[in-house]
Structures are given as structure tokens and as C-alpha cells.
Amino acid sequence: MADRAQPGPCHRSARRKGRGVAVCVTLLALAAFPHAASAQVADLVDRSTLRVCADPANMPFTNEEGQGFENKIAELMAEKLGLALDYTWFPQATGFYRMTLGAKRCDVVMGYVAAGDPILNTNPYYRSAWVLITKKDGELASVDTLEDPRLKGKRIGVIAGTPPGDLLTRNGLMPLARPYALMVDRRFDSPAEAMIADLDEGEIDAGILWGPIGGYYAKKSAVPLSVVPLVKEKGDPSLIYRITFGIRPGELNWKHQLNGFIQKEQGAINRILLDYGVPLLDNQDRPIEAAP
């Protein structure tokens, strides 16, 4: 099972927001979708239930106990749209789309990278970035770019196979980097929690995580930690991503309904995200620190 929603290779996007398994947009993938005409017919079906596709063990995003921030946003969505809430549970790994949204067992994935996989994106409901996490009272607390010379000779934790690894290599920081597994069974292992524990105990000097994941676990740490979005990195890959709701192609009425929810409830959505420690960015890459 993949550590969910961490943007990665192939458009440097994720199967959702913190990446599951990255999937390139190919003709074969496109062929897996229903024809547009069929999707439009399906879009006319009256919805009495908000059917959410989700991972049962993928905090801070979702779990079966409803403790993730996407669970909370789904509850808000169901309330505001006047729908009952139901889940289809499936691990965020190979086959997730095919077994959930593609099979019409559910109607929305609560977090997809904009223009990522070949699904229909709503408008983005938040922007975030990969973050550099250090001890708040340490010498690296003010570092805000991987080009900073203070990182030379430091042990930096990174999730293997994710975009920050390219930048660590470019800046000569990979030789001492400590990799953490990307593909794990989240019921039993959490690379992000392991990285934060190693940082707390001095096993590494800094860690890099997808913002929603890093912000959440840093907030839970007993050691005060600094969480800095990496918005100053130059060139590709970008470490900043827009996150949307993901639905089936052609379901334009459903898309418009969800876009209306985002527009009306953006403040409430932001409050949920900030409560979970998600580092939010505006369109100028400035931090959003309080919801209206």
C-alpha cells in the first residue's frame, strides 16, 4: 500500500494529495474510462447519497474511524449538499481507480492532484507544498530552500522515489540522505511517523514530507518542530501542488455542484485543513495561516 497522496513522478503527481502509486496518462488508461456519452447519462442520475472513495488506513487523510481531514471535509460536503454519507474503502495502491471510481462504486475521491491522473478535476480547494521539517530551536530552523549551504553535510530524511529526491541530488545532499519507504502497508507502517521520530531523537537533522503529512505529524510531535514549505526551489520538479476533488470524466453537472460547494465553504474547508496542520498556500505561494 502506498503512503497516500504524495505527488510523485509522471507529471510529478500523485494518486491523490501526501502520493499513492503514480500513474502516467496513457492511451490505455484513457481507454479504461466510460465513454463521455455514458458519463453524461450517469451524471443525470439523482444522487441521494454522497459516495466517497477512500483508503481505510491513510491518516491524516482518511481512515475507517472517520478521523482524517478528508473524512471531515466529506462530512461537511454531505451536510451542505443534503446527502447521506457512505464510503467505498480500498487501499490507495494499484487498482484504486479501477475498483472504486471507475467501477462506479463511489462518486468522488476527496483529494486528487490537479491535472494528475486521467480523471475529471474540480476546482482546487487547497494548495500545498513539500515541507522541510527541523527542530524549532535548531540551527536549521530558518532554512527555507534546499540550496541553503547550511544543509551541506546534514542527514536529511526523504521518502524514496518522490520529487524532493531529485532536488537533494541536484544540491549534493543525497549522499547523507536517509531514505524511507514509499510503498508500505499503512495498517502497520508509517514512514512519515518514523521520519518524525528519527528527527525528534536526533537520528536525522531534517526531514522532507508532503505538506499535509508533514504538518500533521509535526504538530503531533512532543518536540517543537519547524515546518517550512519549499516554495523557493528553482526548476523542475515543482514541489507545489493544487489539490482537487476527483470525479469521473464527463460528469459536468456533478463537477459544477462540487465547485459550488468549494466556493461557498472555502472558509470552513480551510479551518479543517489548518486544524490538522496542513500548510496552506495562496496563489502567490504565501502561507494562509487563518481561515476567515
Q: pLDDT tens across 222-251, in order?
A: 999 999 999 999 999 999 999 999 999 999
The per-residue pLDDT of the chain, averaged, comes to 87
Q: What is the pLDDT of residue 115?
A: 81
Phi, psi of 157 (to 5 degrees): -80, 140
Element (H, E) at 73: helix 69-81
Q: Do residues 206 and 133 lie in contact, with contact meaning Cβ atoms separated by under 8 Å? A: yes
- Does the pLDDT of residue 193 top 50, yes or no? yes
pLDDT band at 117 (very low <50, low <70, confident <90, very high): low
**Average pLDDT value for residue range 179-202:** 90
Q: What is the pLDDT of residue 43?
A: 58
Stated pTM of the model: 0.85
**Domains of the chain (ranges, CATH numbers):** 27-126+241-288 (3.40.190.10), 129-229 (3.40.190.10)
The SS3 assignment for 292 reads coil
Q: What is the pLDDT of residue 5?
A: 56
- Does the pLDDT of residue 67 top 80, yes or no? yes
Q: Do residues 5 and 244 lie in contact, with contact meaning Cβ atoms separated by under 8 Å? A: no
Nearest one of 30, 212, 59 to 117, comparing CA atoms = 30
